[in-house]
Chain A
Amino acid sequence: MTTIEAPRTPVRPAPKRGVNLEKWGWIYMRVSGVVLIVLIFTHLFVNLMLGDGVKAIDFGFVGGKWADPFWQWWDVAMLWLALIHGANGMRTIVNDYTKPGTAQKLLKLALFLAAAVLIVLGTLVVFTFDPCPAGAPADLLPSFCAA
């Protein structure tokens, strides 16, 4: 004998109170998308069209940009926003194309690790980049370091 469920008993457990990550994920995608349009197109314009244009890009050009805190923060903002935006987008695709289970968990873990490693590595490089490290053999250094 089974008891009849109370009317209005939800089929799913009631949603947890507090922060809803799906909602903030959705908002993040919209906000970061708009910000990235500005960041990326300015980045492309400055690198490829201003001054000597695309011919100006070399080791020295990148080194010069990363000596300026403004471009350091610009590139780090792009790195974080784009990687989280991309990884979250891939996560929704994983949700759409796989069934809940081990495979889905593994794919999401792989996405998280890939994004985390790239973000940490990228941030480290942008802020600690030194085109002329002290004590390096002279033949490996770019020409402008001698000055």
Chain B
Amino acid sequence: MSTATLEHPPAEADAIQSFTVTFLIRRFDPDVDTEPRWQDFDVEMYATDRVLDALHKIKWEQDGSLTFRRSCAHGICGSDAMRINGRNRLACKTLIKDLDISKPIYVEAIKGLPLEKDLIVDMEPFFASYREVQPFLQANTAAEPGKERVQSVAQRAIFDDTTKCILCAACTSSCPVFWTDGQYFGPAAIVNAHRFIFDSRDDEAKVRLDILNDKEGVWRCRTTFNCTEACPRGIEVTKAIAEVKQAIMRGRP
């Protein structure tokens, strides 16, 4: 038996088809613009490309001034949350084949946080709410020397969903209550509080429940499910918020 070879080398026509996709990007340069403006770019894309690839192509080949955040480019760092066709998505996880390319694709910065430049917003208010819920393990007892803190599979499963958060702000910036005055803690902060409130190794759940029992805490949630829909990690955010509400009413996790 000879080595298997391709009998007919692929013809030109079999080459992977590419498409010209129009992107409408909401630009804002604080040095020049008083108001954001929409600018369109035509990019040659493959169906398997991502919106992030399109932004790269624009920045590298067409307009180097386009500004956006991205770090890992593989959906785990949470840097490139943006509003794509009106929905909060990670640019690095949105494939061209999943979008309707017969129409322009709208890309803009996430809402509700101060716009700094092009697709970059000031994330500080978002992280301030995150810090306020004390997102770190607070145990009153020391772990057995040289051992980890023991937790059963069932205890861990309770908060497994909310450990997946990457702090991209897609949920918080999709929340209409957060858009109003930015005082609301926002879904992401509540998700990260949930992660420690229901952790059997943590002893300060009561403190976090008191923090979230605030005027601007969980009671402002209107269960619009925008956050669940926006989460690129598939966290059931609205469910997590409801569980925190239940815990506050019980007075314990």
Q: Does B132 contact A (CB under 8 A)?
A: yes
Q: Provide the residues of chain B in CB contact with A23, threshold 8 Å.
A: 213, 219, 248-249
Question: Main secondary structure on chain B at its contact with chain A?
Answer: helix
Which 5 pairs, one residue from A and one from B, show the smallest C-beta to C-beta distance?
Answer: A22-B219, A26-B219, A15-B214, A96-B180, A22-B215
Q: Select one of A22, A96, A97 contacting B217, CB under 8 A.
A: A22
Within 8 A of A (CB), among B168-216: 176-177, 180-181, 210-211, 213-216
| Complex interface residues of chain B between 128 and 174 (CB less than 8 A to chain A) | 128, 131-132, 134
Complex contacts, A11 vs chain B, CB 8 Å: 128, 131-132
Asked whether A96 lies within 8 Å of B134 as measured between CB atoms, the reply is: no
Provide a sorted-by-A list of 26 A–B residue pairs whose CB atoms are within 8 angstroms.
Answer: A8-B134, A11-B128, A11-B132, A12-B132, A12-B214, A12-B216, A14-B210, A15-B210, A15-B211, A15-B213, A15-B214, A15-B215, A22-B215, A22-B219, A23-B219, A23-B249, A26-B219, A27-B249, A92-B220, A92-B222, A95-B220, A96-B176, A96-B177, A96-B180, A99-B181, A100-B181
Name the CB-closest residue of A to B216.
Answer: A12
- Interface size class on chain B is 20 to 34
Q: Which residues in A have their C-beta under 8 angstroms from that of B214?
A: 12, 15, 22
- Identify which of B180, B213, B222, B245 contacts A20 (C-beta below 8 A): B213
C-alpha spacing A26/B219, complex, angstroms: 7
- Taken residue by residue from 205 to 240, chain B's Cβ proximity to chain A (1 for < 8 Å, 0 otherwise) reads as 000001101111101101000000000000000000
Which of the four size classes fits the interface of chain A?
A: 10 to 19
How many A-B residue contacts, CB cutoff 8 Å?
Answer: 41
Q: Closest approach, in angstroms, between the C-beta of A122 and any C-beta of chain B?
A: 28
- Residues of B near A95 (CB, < 8 A) are 180, 220
Tell me if A137 is interfacial: C-beta within 8 Å of chain B: no
In the complex, what residues of A have CB within 8 A of residue B248's CB?
23
Instruction: Indicate whether A69 reaches chain B with its CB closer than 8 angstroms.
Output: no
Decide if A86 is an interface residue (CB 8 Å cutoff): no
CA distance A88 to B132 in the complex (A): 28
Report chain B residues within 8 Å CB of A25.
219
Cα separation A20 to B212 with both chains bound (whole Å): 11
Docked CA distance A95–B181 (Å): 9
Task: Please indicate the chain A residues that have their CB under 8 angstroms from the CB of B210 in the complex.
Answer: 14-15
Q: A22-B215, A23-B213, A27-B249 are in contact. Are A10 and B176 (CB under 8 A)?
A: no
List of B residues within 8 angstroms of A27 by Cβ: 249
Q: Residue on A with the closest CB to B183? A: A100
Q: For residue A99, which residues in chain B have a CB less than 8 angstroms away from its CB?
A: 181
Which B residues are in CB contact (< 8 Å) with A15? 210-211, 213-215
- List which A1-54 residues lie within 8 A (CB) of chain B: 8, 10-12, 14-15, 20, 22-23, 25-27
CB of A19, distance to nearest CB on chain B (Å): 11
Query: In the assembled complex, which residues on chain A have CB atoms less than 8 Å from the CB atom of B213?
Result: 15, 20, 22-23
- 13 additional contacts, CB 8 Å, given A12-B214, A22-B215, A23-B249? A12-B216, A15-B213, A15-B214, A15-B215, A20-B213, A22-B219, A22-B220, A23-B248, A25-B219, A95-B220, A96-B176, A96-B177, A97-B180
Closest residue of A by beta carbon distance from B180: A96
Within the complex, what minimum Cβ distance (angstroms) separates A25 from chain B? 7
Complex Cα gap A70–B49 (Å):
69
Residues of B within 8 A of A20 (CB): 213
Give Cα A25–Cα B217 distance, bound, in whole angstroms: 13
Task: Give the distance to chain A from B235, nearest Cβ to Cβ, in Å.
Answer: 23
The smallest beta-carbon distance between B214 and chain A, in angstroms, is 5
Residues on the A chain within 8 Å of B217, using CB: 22
- In the complex, what residue of chain B is closest to A104 when comparing beta carbons? B181
